[in-house]
């Protein structure tokens, strides 16, 4: 027997090809008995069902949405922010019978290949796409637009034609800085994430070297209200190991002296918690000697007593999902609030 198709099954059962298609795609259109007969015949003949790629080609839809990651693929399964965002997104898309496609861009730890490999975006079978910490002018977003893929960003944009769900990270940085100034802190160290491997040897960086769009905005907000220049340190991408390495750098290089920092800000809770573990292990009194604060309010922040800037992570994912699936949904630009949550890791500046 040659290739088995829906027509083969239809002829064997004595029905139309459309009826065979309905057995798979619109079971409510058929009686239970007829559908069972079609499926049993298909199994006997070795027919696996309609070709999904061909169906997508005919309809112009894939019933899938993409999430573009500039981090490793493992980030989506290990980072608490990414997990919360994707859980919110999944709540919406699963109700519509839609799939989520994770699209990681190739990752490098240096600048040897400044042009990203966009083959994953070029080949992705998706109807719409969102992004995690990806700049609006990133080549992957430009390519998606060229392909006609509907985009919903997670950064604020002034373009009236853009769709996005975002928080004001710069305003959040200012609010956090104002709280630190109120507590008497004048000199702070900020731990940011970069694309270096997690837990790399920490090093001090100029603010301009921080290219993660969220981190850069938070830094600008902090610097706008702090009376002294920020000490910016990084020890790799967003992971507790990076926070721990940065904490050891702080203890080795800047914790003592007349101009020592009295507070440390992690630009994510993950980094702040990694640093906090080291400070506590080394008997650095928190907040007596060094206040510690983070961003996002992930589930692990409250048990650790971490002061943080809270954002509605799952709610952001749900709203993004609604805009991805419904091009007519409004509003198309949603600014979500961030809230300072004061816990036990912050207090008045020492001395």
- Axis crossing angle, helix 269-281 with helix 80-93, rounded to the nearest 10: 150
Specify the range with the lowest mean pLDDT, choosing from 44-48, 159-163, 214-218, 324-328: 44-48
Contact 20, 38 (CB under 8 A): yes
Considering only CA atoms, give the Rg of the chain. 25
pLDDT at 117: 63
Name the band, by pLDDT with cuts 50, 70 and 90, for residue 1: low
Per residue in 183-220, pLDDT (tens digit) is 999 999 999 999 899 999 999 999 999 988 899 999 99
Report the distance separating Cα 134 and Cα 254, nearest Å.
32
The percentage of residues in the chain with a pLDDT greater than 70, rounded to a whole number, is 92
Q: Average pLDDT over the chain, rounded to whole?
A: 90
232 Cβ contact list (under 8 Å, min separation 6)? 189, 190, 192, 204, 205, 206, 207, 209, 210, 219
Is pLDDT at 54 greater than 80 in this prediction?
Answer: no
Q: What is the pTM of this model?
A: 0.81
CATH numbers and ranges of domains, the chain: 6-50 (1.10.260.40), 64-167+314-336 (3.40.50.2300), 169-310 (3.40.50.2300)
Specify the range with the lowest mean pLDDT, choosing from 147-151, 247-251, 267-271, 303-307: 147-151
pLDDT at 50: 66
Mean pLDDT for 327-338 is: 96
Report the distance separating Cα 256 and Cα 271, nearest Å.
22
Query: Regarding predicted confidence, which is higher, 343 or 114?
Result: 343
Number of CB atoms found within 10 A of residue 37's CB: 17
Is pLDDT at 351 greater than 80 in this prediction?
Answer: no
Is pLDDT at 238 greater than 70 in this prediction?
Answer: yes
Is pLDDT at 114 greater than 50 in this prediction?
Answer: no
Report the distance separating Cα 271 and Cα 295, nearest Å.
9
Is pLDDT at 308 greater than 70 in this prediction?
Answer: yes
Mean pLDDT for 146-172 is: 93
């Amino acid at each position: 027997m040659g290739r088995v198709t829906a027509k083969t099954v239809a002829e064997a059962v004595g029905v139309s090809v459309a009826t065979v298609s309905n057995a798979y795609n619109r079971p409510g259109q058929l009686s239970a008995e007829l559908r069972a007969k079609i499926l049993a015949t298909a199994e006997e003949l070795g027919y696996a069902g309609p070709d999904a790629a061909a169906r997508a080609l005919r309809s112009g839809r894939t019933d899938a949405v993409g999430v573009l990651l500039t981090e490793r693929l493992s980030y989506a399964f290990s980072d608490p922010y990414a997990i919360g965002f994707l859980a919110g997104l999944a709540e919406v898309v699963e109700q519509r019978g839609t799939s989520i496609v994770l699209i990681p861009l190739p990752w490098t730890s240096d600048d040897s290949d400044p042009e990203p490999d966009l083959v994953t975006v070029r080949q992705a079978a998706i109807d719409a796409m969102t992004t995690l910490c990806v700049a609006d002018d990133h080549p992957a977003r430009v390519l998606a637009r060229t392909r006609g893929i509907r985009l919903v960003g997670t950064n604020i944009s002034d373009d009236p034609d853009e769709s996005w769900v975002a928080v004001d990270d710069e305003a959040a940085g200012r609010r956090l800085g104002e709280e630190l100034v109120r507590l008497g802190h004048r000199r702070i160290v900020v731990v940011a994430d970069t694309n270096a491997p997690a837990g790399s040897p920490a090093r001090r960086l100029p603010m301009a070297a921080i290219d993660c769009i969220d981190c850069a905005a938070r830094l600008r907000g902090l610097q706008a209200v702090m009376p002294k220049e920020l000490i910016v340190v990084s020890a790799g991408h967003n992971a507790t190991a990076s926070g721990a390495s940065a904490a050891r750098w702080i203890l080795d290089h800047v914790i003592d002296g007349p101009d020592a920092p009295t507070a440390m800000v992690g630009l994510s809770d993950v980094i702040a918690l990694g640093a906090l573990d080291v400070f506590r292990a080394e008997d650095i009194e928190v907040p007596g000697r060094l206040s510690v604060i983070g961003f996002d309010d992930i589930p692990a922040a409250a048990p650790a007593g971490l002061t943080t800037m809270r954002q509605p992570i799952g709610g952001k994912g749900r709203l993004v999902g609604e805009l991805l699936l419904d091009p007519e949904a409004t509003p198309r630009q949603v600014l979500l609030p961030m809230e300072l949550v004061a816990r036990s890791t912050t207090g008045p500046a020492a001395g």
